[in-house]
Structure 1
Amino acid sequence: MKTFLATVSAALLLGACASQSPPPDWQANAHASLKTFTSAYLSGNTRLAEFEFSRAKLDISSTGRADLLARAELTRCATRVASLEFDDCAAYQPLAPEARPEEQTYAAFLNGHWTGINAALLPPQHRALVLNSTTSASVLGTIEDPLGRLVAAGTLLQNQRLTPADITLATETASAQGWRRPLLAWLGVQLKRAQDGGDKEATDRLQRRIALVLQSAPKNQ
């Protein structure tokens, strides 16, 4: 995800790279808003996340570039996938005809539609997941970027290729970053597995951990 977000930002700031002049305000503002959106969303601050994403969309829309807006929507979709919130990238779909093949491929990847996908068009950190159809644990563990790892884990869950080790890795990745939203989602996955397996000790432990995360969340978010 970090790689993809960097790609989005690079596209928004393309004008700045092409000359010595400062970038237009919309570029710098959209870049900053997307970064703040991602951080706020993962922390569980829905109000701030929605505000910052609306700001980014407003700045990008001023260009009349639907392709750039599509990339921004995929940034939001990927952040949601990391938190196990799947909606087929609904806000991206109306913009899909204007998107480049790279964005169209990434949307398919995020939604778990991997049949016939061109892995070469994906961010490098996610290519091996599509190319390796037999296992996931070793591949998931090689993704160094925490958010990219959680995005990958979310796509593996949709493809029913997630192993118990993957679930633990995703949970502890979110925990290490202090990202409440994906942490609660992945703890929920672990809790259901413990309940389905009749593991009372694990169920009680996970419920206590979930309660602790909920208590740490600021109010009115």
Structure 2
Amino acid sequence: MKKLAITFSLLLAGCASTPASPDWQGNAYSALDSFTSTYLKGNTRSAEADFARARADISSTGRADLVARAELVRCAVRVASLEFDDCAGYQPFAADAGKAERSYAAYLTARWQDVDAALLPPQHRAMVGSSATSVSTIDDPLARLIAAGALLQAGRLSPADTISATESASAQGWRRPLLAWLGVQLRSAQEAGDSEGVTRLQRRINLISASL
């Protein structure tokens, strides 16, 4: 399974090919992959350290556009966990980002009027437009969560997609997004007056919280 839903090719796109990849590329890939895993599991301190290592390796190139792409990786993982901050880490580098990255940032921050679907990572293209489909059609679980988070921000998320996102996080054992998506379901159950559903969802939340 690919842990980076937008894939590391986003980060390395445009880099000159060489017979042997420079150390910073492998180091940055490893750090970003570790960041993604630890963040989704709910280990904030380790995740922040991993991302700092990735940023340091990428910054050694002097390429602001590559830093922008790395920041979009972080933003996407946060969106999957329903932590919306307008991709704050990406914003200082937005001017150096390419068209594809700007479109992806717009997708992640619910500015869909600025999204060019053709420039989005393939798994997200079907989410945009009048014929948008369910997130359950996305094979990669992290990409599915990212799409669900983007749809939620844009006010386009269906109840079925909420369940799909929740169970995707559950199947992977990703505590952070699972708690967030269970919270969405809990609020819906409360608003609907579904006391049985509220009790069941709260039991799940308590079980996960106790393991943190």
Compute the TM-score of the two structures, normalised by the length of structure 2. 0.94
Q: Which residue of 2 aligns with 1:120?
A: 118
Contact 1:37 1:52 in 2 (8 A): yes
Q: Which residue of 2 aligns with 1:63?
A: 61
Deviation at 1:188, TM superposition (A): 0.2
SS at match of 2:62: coil
1:129 aligned onto 2:124: no
In the TM superposition, 1:65-104 aligns within 5 A as 65-104=63-102
Identity over aligned pairs, percent: 60
CA distance in 2, matches of 1:2, 1:53: 13
Q: Which residue of 2 aligns with 1:172?
A: 167
Q: Say which of 191, 196, 203 aligns to 2:198.
A: 203
Deviation at 1:116, TM superposition (A): 4.5
CA distance in 1, matches of 2:9, 2:138: 17
Contact 2:100 2:120 in 1 (8 A): yes
CA distance in 2, matches of 1:73, 1:163: 28
CA distance in 1, matches of 2:131, 2:26: 42
1:193 aligned onto 2:188: yes
Q: Say which of 103, 119, 137 aligns to 1:105.
A: 103
* Cα gap change, 1:76 to 1:24, in 2 (>3 Å): same
Pairs aligned (count) = 210
Moved over 6 A (4+): none
Q: CA RMSD in A?
A: 1.5
In the alignment, structure 2 segments of 5+ residues that lack a partner are none
In the alignment, structure 1 segments of 5+ residues that lack a partner are none
Q: Say which of 150, 154, 166 aligns to 1:155.
A: 150
Compute the TM-score of the two structures, normalised by the length of structure 1. 0.90
